[in-house]
Structure 1
Amino acid sequence: MAFKSEYLAKVYASVEKRNPGEAEFLQAVKEVLTSLEPVVAARPDLVKAGVIDRIVEPERFIQFRVSWVDDNGNVQVNRGFRAQFNSAIGPYKGGLRLHPSVCASVIKFLGFEQIFKNSLTGLPMGGGKGGSDFDPKGKSDGEIMRFCQSFMTELCKHIGADTDVPAGDIGVGGREIGFMFGQYKRLRNEFTGVLTGKGLTYGGSLARTEATGYGLCYFTSEMLKCMKNESFKGKTVVISGSGNVAIYATQKATELGGKVVALSDSNGYIYDKNGINLDVVKQIKEVERARISEYAKRVPGSEYHEGCRGIWSIKCDIALPCATQNELNGDEAQMLVKNGVIAVAEGANMPSTPEAVEVFQKNGVMFGPAKAANAGGVATSGLEMSQNSIRYSWTFEEVDKKLNDIMVNIFHSSYDASKKFGSEGDLVMGANIAGFLKVADAMLAQGIAY
């Protein structure tokens, strides 16, 4: 899509020149800048102050070597990253991802998205992201511990409870956060809320595990109610992925009256016309750390199909992509539309390609973009930070209520912004604008040198 604004075209051309070949980052920047066309027209003060020129460049980008020793005594070397993208409204906040696909482009894309996602929560958190190309799959607990300790030995120089507060992401769960927190505490000799997603025995928050999946469904429920006077009740739901987000989205969608019939992993997908048995999925994925194909061996009447992308051929009313970036393309979006989908909301970060988003919008499908729909995880991380600061813990019900309120508010902030700027119902535009304006005004107030 070509830019109407000469200024935005110039900004994007500069980003392309500075970040050659970084496809994921460029895709994320282009989506946001395209949404900001009406803002640029209405707010020349932001152009004069170079706010958009600055917001597309990370305040700090850290890359470092991570050396660790495997169980055979061999030295292994990985790359570690941390993008401290924007701290205008609070300390940098964003997860750590451990996956072979991690590179500068992926970390920058995630960190850039995190700016607006965190802004939308209404909590005082800036945007950041980090991780490594280390693959935890197939590694022993000892190997993962040694990697995490080496990773934190360098990362600890750059983070802190009032500076940068990482959390988990793909490949980083409670085990990994525990190892990293222990190393940080050992090196810094302080017990602070420097990481979120911690265990409940050492400062973690109830409902954090469930937060992204629950929050996705709270957002989707509000979107269905306000835009189409609909709900999850009686709807067939397809959810990609089978990790933390997908599991708890399945649980909440079911509680809200939907029937989830499919889940996937990187190898393939399962289809259960009777509705997914979540206890079996949790045993396979959380306890055994096995492949989703095991489900079909244990649940009569269910099917397993090789190739995870085939999941979008299943007829459904609601689709919740919760696996990874760019997992749903334009052709697959056409299949969903043809099969009668009425709503799509993103549980993963940027799982729909630009072509897929265009298909949904042109066909009147309600579409909840990731930076709005999957903000429940970081919102509850922010609530964990608050609890750590006051040395207090809220109940599960208290945190869940706050999470529900935040996700409802995110929907309305996004919807209201889309209406104000002339594209009512375009939640991609609305979320980008609502998230951007709060950060932009903070940047203006703090001066050009910032």
Structure 2
Amino acid sequence: MDEGQPTASESPKVSETSRASEAGAVFLAFLRQGFTAFGGPVAHLGYFRREFVERRGWLGEAAFADLLALCQFLPGPASSQLAMAIGQRRAGWAGLIAAWIGFTLPAALAMIALAYATPLLNAAWGGGWRHGLKIAAAAIVAQALAAMARTLARGPVRAGMAIGAAAGLIVAHGPMAQIFALLAGAAFGYGLLRDAPAIETPDLVTARAPAYGPPLAALAVFALLLAGLPFAASALNEPLLGLASVFYRTGALVFGGGHVVLPLLQSEIVGRSWLDRDTFLAGYGAVQALPGPLFSFAAFVGAAQGVAPGGWIGGLVAVTAIFLPSLLLVAGVVPFWDRLKVLPEARGALAGVNAVVVGLLAAALWDPVLTGAVQRTNDWALVAAAYVFLAVARLPPWLVVIGFALAAGLLAR
């Protein structure tokens, strides 16, 4: 039975209290990630694995990989969706919302504050400390890759699929290439790994069939908002609805993670003259140096734009609208995924997808993580040193991140 599910002897009051307590724990755990998870979406996967698989034991390696594979298929920010899915596993819908708020809140508030401060900023600070963040992020991703490869790419077939996926994704960039690689992994896994034993016993799957009413309702709301928001904004001539419509559509249709949102939002926001290009790019550059999801950049745009009401109201509307599609998709799809993944017919396909996820992470480690972090030959030594601090000395990631950011910033002066 899932943790948090009431037994027959539990009263509803105790069950609800337990769920509320679990949701509070989820919020605090992801709030900590929101303050310390530097390095962008790929690095977040390493943070989450270390915190929720290794340290807290909230889910196993296979369950983590299952959710990660699913989030790679869905449109929207994969790391934030993974956070929502982990929260949902721990404490239901309340946990899903708590994980999103906790992980997003620090960066969103910082971005809104930056929008207020932008007119007062006359000079840039220099980028040495950002370089340190990238070095630390590269080591975090490498550590996650090594750990996941040991579990999910064992044996010649899975290792070959992971290597092939990594090589293909290094050559062919873009979200469509990722989706094709995952589909190919499922097909090869179905053909070659159907009789292979499961990597570990699938966990966090309910013994009884879940209620499908709420998930179906979530998917219906997702489709209704996607189709209806533009018409409502036009018919009512309400600027805040127009702002919400743009950000909801972006969150619902973007594949490939946080960096892909840049060209889409630039076309929508700068193209409509809601914000000038320089301010837009300055905000996007600033969010790279913050912990938490890159989609928090929406809070800056919503607060800084001058068409709809800006400030904190516009910021909150924008950041809520861009994440709402992911919240609805995770709530709607994960229960069906849970039932599908334990079927014997799906086991091989899932093993193939998990192997390809290792290759996808390896390709991301190379580009954009290492290509962005390694600017000089001695940067390789810095990445290796950060990896030793993480994997050998077992220092907490936040300490390595802050230490390398401060060191690189001082050296750049």
Q: What TM-score does the superposition give when structure 1 sets the normalisation length?
A: 0.28
The structure with the largest helix share of the pair is 2
Q: What TM-score does the superposition give when structure 2 sets the normalisation length?
A: 0.30
The structure with the largest strand share of the pair is 1
